[in-house]
């Protein structure tokens, strides 16, 4: 019950972006997002990726932002991603990029979004950098898959995120697996109605493992996005039972979350990719991380008081 209340609170607070602007002016509070966000600049992100790579991890870089209101803002966001991809290539980083379509102008229309996103996809193709499309709330699921499908039809290497708590996800993953699309599977972090999404943890966990297993059997190289040791064990067991080695999939975790578990998996020979966000629009992302796992509040409190490591 407490976790449910906290989840609702943080999702509500995510809409009040002025709180984020105020907190950035206060040195004590500015330290909060640095547990989960690499910084506000591309230089900060590159430094974080270098450190992760030295520790044996891969990365996916996210230029924070969403829900732009005009084409100019969408084009600026796309230009930031092109610059990020070019920097990944120049530095020889083992990294790809993750983006949200509302940041690329999806609310302005699917055609506009495709026009804005195409230079990013082209930069990815030119430099061999995979482009991951994050999934947003269920209101965007169909349009997100439409955009991904359209760009893949043009020959771009691009893949979506699928949320395990949505009832529709088994059907979506079935189609994606048949085409061997690289999919990241996560549990889901948006507030959705019970009519379209499971709220029960057992049901969500079962869906998560089923979706990943479908992708494993299709040899689609899934991204397994979880910090839950039980889910990690279940996926590793499902792969081993099918004779699928650890090079056929990767575990993915958020920057600053379960760093101990990240190290353990790398030491065991699993592939690990860390989601590295950067930018000034950190506040909605930060609040959703707290909503996704209220225990993250403890990490934040520790960071405020100088947690090392």
Residue 184 bears catalytic tag = yes
Over its C-alpha atoms, the chain yields an Rg (Å, rounded) of: 18
How far is 110 from 107, CA to CA, in rounded Å? 8
How far is 138 from 237, CA to CA, in rounded Å? 30
| Angle value at C-alpha 60, between 301 and 293, nearest 5 degrees | 35
Residue 172 bears catalytic tag = no
Q: How many CA atoms lie within 13 A of 229 on its CB side?
A: 5
How far is 191 from 13, CA to CA, in rounded Å? 13
Find the catalytic residue in 87, 184, 258, 289. Answer: 184
CA 290 to the chain's CA centroid:
15
How far is 102 from 56, CA to CA, in rounded Å? 32
Find the catalytic residue in 7, 35, 62, 134. Answer: 134
Contacting residues for 31 by C-beta, under 8 A, at least 6 apart: 303, 304
Q: Which single residue is written with the structure tokens 């909060």? A: 32
Q: Which residues pair with 133 in a beta bridge?
A: 99, 160
Return the SS3 of 21.
helix
How far is 45 from 69, CA to CA, in rounded Å? 26
Max distance between CA atoms of the chain, in angstroms, equals: 53
| Angle value at C-alpha 141, between 3 and 106, nearest 5 degrees | 110
Q: Which residues are catalytic?
A: 134, 184
């Amino acid at each position: 019950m407490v976790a449910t209340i906290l989840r609702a609170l943080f999702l509500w607070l995510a809409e009040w972006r002025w709180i984020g602007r105020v907190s950035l002016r206060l040195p004590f509070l500015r330290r909060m997002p640095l547990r989960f966000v690499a910084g506000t600049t591309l230089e900060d992100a590159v430094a974080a990726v270098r450190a992760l790579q030295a520790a044996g991890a891969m990365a996916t870089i996210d230029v924070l932002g969403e829900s732009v209101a005009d084409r100019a803002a969408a084009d600026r966001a796309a230009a930031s991603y092109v610059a990020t991809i070019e920097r990944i290539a120049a530095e020889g980083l083992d990294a790809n990029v993750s983006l949200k379509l509302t940041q690329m102008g999806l609310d302005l229309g699917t055609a506009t979004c495709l026009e804005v996103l195409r230079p990013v996809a082209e930069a990815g193709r030119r430099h061999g950098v995979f482009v991951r499309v994050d999934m947003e709330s269920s209101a965007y699921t169909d349009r997100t898959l439409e955009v991904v499908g359209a760009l893949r039809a043009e020959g771009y290497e691009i893949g979506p995120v699928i949320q395990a708590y949505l009832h529709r996800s088994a059907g979506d993953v079935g189609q994606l697996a048949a085409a061997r699309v690289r999919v990241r599977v996560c549990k889901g972090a948006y507030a959705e109605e019970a009519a379209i999404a499971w709220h029960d943890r057992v049901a969500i966990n079962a869906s998560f493992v089923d979706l990943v297993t479908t992708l494993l059997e299709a040899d689609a190289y899934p991204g397994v996005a979880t910090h839950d040791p039980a889910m990690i064990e279940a996926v590793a067991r499902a792969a081993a039972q099918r004779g699928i080695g650890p090079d056929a999939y990767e575990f993915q975790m958020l920057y600053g979350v379960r760093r101990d578990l990240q190290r353990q998996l790398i030491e065991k020979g699993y592939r690990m990719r860390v989601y590295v966000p950067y930018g000034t629009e950190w506040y909605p992302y930060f609040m959703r991380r707290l909503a996704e796992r209220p225990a993250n509040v403890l990490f934040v409190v520790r960071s405020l008081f100088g947690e090392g490591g």
